[in-house]
Structure 1
């Protein structure tokens, strides 16, 4: 735990020498497959390290002096998660404290899934291609029917390993999501699901091209920008599709993307939806115990005691892709975008953005440290590439790009496979706009005038997706029709269609493109850009010219929906210029954010 006491960035730099030289003597990682692991537990690069010394020797030089030889380690951000995972899978020891989860009962569990029967008469299992905590994956061949003679992959999940209701629900949900979403060109094709007394069998497309991780390693650890774009567009395409359906993957990493063939231009497919879940409108990810992203990988190891050692060779690598908000126990689709940012960082430079020798250290780096963009090759990459990664690895999930926005980023502009899908964030932002005061709407309209051509292009794509009428306006019916156009069973299960209700106020009015731009602006995302101050200053200039006016504190409080009180009035005084009684620049920026009374009291 020595590195956890040092400065995260400095500790990272000491071990960040990128290398493409394999070292066969390095310790190996646990993996969900039986293949030789590729990530040594002490190297910041996904490539084998060139260090010949042991990790202990390396740690000595990077550990600050301490008063005690063996100091107490800081509390682990992982311990509570590991304890919950143990309870989730029924592996809690008699004397261990447990945390109630609900809906758990090991007695009388219903393991009848209602899937198709007689698996063995339809498929002949071949060689095993991967093994996990619950079961294994095999290549197989169809024996009859439409898949006769065709190679497929079969995920065999052992019912004896399903010791809690949550574990059973995980399998049921995985099948439902795969069945609902299958058909997207960058998502592994689902054929059918079977079950018998012993196992559940999930029959899927067999991807013979290997993992994205294998391709990264075969290229010496990194991609060129152009080749990285090809990969990122495919990843973003399928993730945008999933998010539109209300599905968050929650375990995005290079190992969970497979190529269909060995061909260099082979399509990339997302796999392993065993951790996926639905995101309900207006809520964070439901039930903390149901989204243990970083430790679901434990199911793919042979560990009997999942609450044992914290070393990375025991816990495997998903922790590298975990978003900060996951550690704060409340997250949604934005967590997937963080994971994509980590993948993009690795593709472009061959190193992980966050690293430590224990999973607790990784989590602290994720929460506190900033990824380095100073070392090679970053200074030699395009500014757009650096900006793309930075906007995905923003610790504030509100400032992070959505998948649709990432596809419209200048770095990917002009790529032949880019098609901007409908983005559900538009529904949320339009709702907030409709519920805003007239003064805030005026401020947002002023800010919208500062948007660049590229930012307007994204909004134009979203507006077009809504299908405006001949007069160039959209109404509630447009929002309903656009969402229904892409509806699947997954969208129904996630209740994403409820987003339409958030713009119900449009029923009796229409919105043109100019107003739509003001409504669909994410102030938080603009704030996360380097050009934010320029946007804010120019927006304030437009606001001064067209919409600023003298306003009393009482009127401002009323505009914000606040009840008059002394604390509120004291804070709002800073919003108004004493010279002419008009809104100050500070007030303009605060108004854009639509601060609540609770936020004002904290100010």
Structure 2
């Protein structure tokens, strides 16, 4: 699969990335498994691993194409950037690496997933999930204005992603319908936030001063080059205004005309369209478009607004999916650290997109506060509905111990996907064989301790004994490596 780079890349390093600095691991029990470990930087020709398909779009610095992964057969989006176009502009280069780091760390159902990062002599290539439903902007145009339940369905997903970003210190700075993709053109679609090229990790002791954003959606304080994460809340307010009316609150024939109106902050919610919009929705918009950033609600407070809480969203289908997911969570078991690692890899890199989409719906239904992770209390509320309090508490404690692989006290999105998926689907023959081939970097037909360290150990400090011990737990014939038969048997024991 090519050479894996262990060198630090020059660019913006996120708060989340800093928190993942090298940790001392003295045994396999200390080893944490996280999705970011499988986002590998490869210094090789991307055409060795992908077949390039049609172009989806292009810009000043590169293009986006459909690419088919040769081993898994999955279609993915490949964003290609010419090195020459960013080599002489440090600001542009920083923006590019900021996007890499944010997407590498992000683990949320409404943020596009980064699979791999390639580098050759002339280009950088970001390989992300392919979201086929088009832009939310196109859906708004075709629908003109959305009913409040449909608008709430999409807006809650946007806020959840923004809340997740802000809780990790990330400010997007260019939220707009064009940067919100749908997995299908449907009122119940899953939404994905993309394009983190202007994102930054905020230092709360300093104000942000670089002007980024798009005229219709930019916050007035950004124009003054003195702002914080609340600029994203303003953009969300503009997006909700458009979702419900089909028109922007600040409009003009030119950018300067639009920005002049943004600076004044004057907009209207009158006429036949707005007469049909609820008071709760209007109040939420007004709070987000407050000219004083300090008086705007946070993303988490927006998620607790009366409009979203009282708006019916759950469907019978979502209830069925949630029940199935909870049942699979209850039966989840994994004895070995390497089993956890393989399941996380399959869940984040190889799993069927339709099943992931269904589990994403279940995750969002369980995530009551929309923070992008499941707490003990959120799980307890669900299990209490089908069993007594004491039994539910015991069950949730066991689930947390089994599923919370990184030990942060929550079940993160990828952990949920791994543990709530149907075993026969997650551990299918094809998935296991593809996972083995991707772990086996040198194509020798066996997985060595060195190859496992290349995947799981790039962010930890340990001695070689840790990785040999991982192999030894599975190696039946004592040759110091894991062959395909041993690999499959290790995973099929989970049934």
Shorter chain as normaliser: what TM range? 0.5 to 0.7
Rounded Cα–Cα distance in structure 2 between residues aligned with 1:370 and 1:214: 26
**Structure 1 segments unaligned to the other structure (5+ residues):** 1-112, 295-317, 424-482, 489-603
- Within 5 Å, which residues of 2 pair with 1:157-556? 157-162=81-86, 163-181=88-106, 183-219=107-143, 221-285=144-208, 288=209, 291-294=210-213, 318-414=214-310, 415-416=313-314, 417=365, 419-420=368-369, 485=409
Deviations 1:544-583 (A, max 9, x none): xxxxxxxxxxxxxxxxxxxxxxxxxxxxxxxxxxxxxxxx
Structure 1 position 266, deviation (Å): 2.0
Matched-pair contact (CA < 8 Å) for 2:216–2:248? yes
Larger radius of gyration: 1
Deviations 1:190-209 (A, max 9, x none): 10100111110000000111
- Superposed CA RMSD: 2.2
Structure 1 position 487, deviation (Å): 12
Structure 1 position 126, deviation (Å): 0.7
The residue that corresponds to 2:50 in the other structure is: 123
How many residue pairs get matched? 285
Matched-pair contact (CA < 8 Å) for 1:245–1:487? no
SS of the residue 1:321 aligns to = coil
Matched-pair contact (CA < 8 Å) for 1:393–1:400? yes
Structure 1 position 154, deviation (Å): 0.3
Structure-1-length-normalised TM-score: 0.45
Work out whether 1:149 is the aligned partner of 2:68: no
Deviations 1:339-367 (A, max 9, x none): 01000000111111001222121111011
Q: Return closer, same or farther for 1:135/1:336 CA change in 2, 3 Å cut-off.
A: same
Work out whether 1:139 is the aligned partner of 2:66: yes
Matched-pair contact (CA < 8 Å) for 2:238–2:289? yes
Deviations 1:499-522 (A, max 9, x none): xxxxxxxxxxxxxxxxxxxxxxxx
SS of the residue 2:55 aligns to = strand
Deviations 1:24-76 (A, max 9, x none): xxxxxxxxxxxxxxxxxxxxxxxxxxxxxxxxxxxxxxxxxxxxxxxxxxxxx
Rounded Cα–Cα distance in structure 2 between residues aligned with 1:338 and 1:422: 19
Structure 1 position 234, deviation (Å): 0.5
Structure 1 position 114, deviation (Å): 6.3
Rounded Cα–Cα distance in structure 2 between residues aligned with 1:267 and 1:422: 16
Deviations 1:161-193 (A, max 9, x none): 112122212111110110001x31111111010
Matched-pair contact (CA < 8 Å) for 1:349–1:376? no
The residue that corresponds to 1:596 in the other structure is: none
Q: Return closer, same or farther for 1:222/1:382 CA change in 2, 3 Å cut-off.
A: same
Q: Return closer, same or farther for 1:487/1:171 CA change in 2, 3 Å cut-off.
A: farther
Rounded Cα–Cα distance in structure 2 between residues aligned with 1:422 and 1:211: 24
Rounded Cα–Cα distance in structure 2 between residues aligned with 1:380 and 1:255: 26
Matched-pair contact (CA < 8 Å) for 2:211–2:223? no
Structure 1 position 380, deviation (Å): 2.5
SS of the residue 1:319 aligns to = coil
The residue that corresponds to 2:378 in the other structure is: none
Structure with greater strand share of residues: 2
The residue that corresponds to 1:557 in the other structure is: none
Q: Return closer, same or farther for 1:421/1:258 CA change in 2, 3 Å cut-off.
A: closer
**Structure 2 segments unaligned to the other structure (5+ residues):** 1-39, 315-364, 373-406, 413-495
The residue that corresponds to 2:435 in the other structure is: none
Matched-pair contact (CA < 8 Å) for 1:407–1:419? no
- Within 5 Å, which residues of 2 pair with 1:36-47? none
Structure-2-length-normalised TM-score: 0.55
Matched-pair contact (CA < 8 Å) for 1:211–1:254? yes
Matched-pair contact (CA < 8 Å) for 1:349–1:378? yes
The residue that corresponds to 2:396 in the other structure is: none
SS of the residue 1:377 aligns to = helix
Rounded Cα–Cα distance in structure 2 between residues aligned with 1:124 and 1:378: 49
**Which structure has more RCO (C-alpha within 8 Å, separation ≥ 6)?**
2
Deviations 1:73-107 (A, max 9, x none): xxxxxxxxxxxxxxxxxxxxxxxxxxxxxxxxxxx
SS of the residue 2:272 aligns to = coil
Q: Return closer, same or farther for 1:222/1:160 CA change in 2, 3 Å cut-off.
A: same
Deviations 1:449-471 (A, max 9, x none): xxxxxxxxxxxxxxxxxxxxxxx
Structure 1 position 328, deviation (Å): 0.9
Rounded Cα–Cα distance in structure 2 between residues aligned with 1:404 and 1:196: 41
Task: Name segments (4+ residues, structure 1) moved above 6 Å.
Answer: none
Greater alpha carbon shift after TM alignment, 400-409 vs 362-371:
362-371
Rounded Cα–Cα distance in structure 2 between residues aligned with 1:257 and 1:422: 18
Q: Return closer, same or farther for 1:342/1:190 CA change in 2, 3 Å cut-off.
A: same
Rounded Cα–Cα distance in structure 2 between residues aligned with 1:114 and 1:173: 14
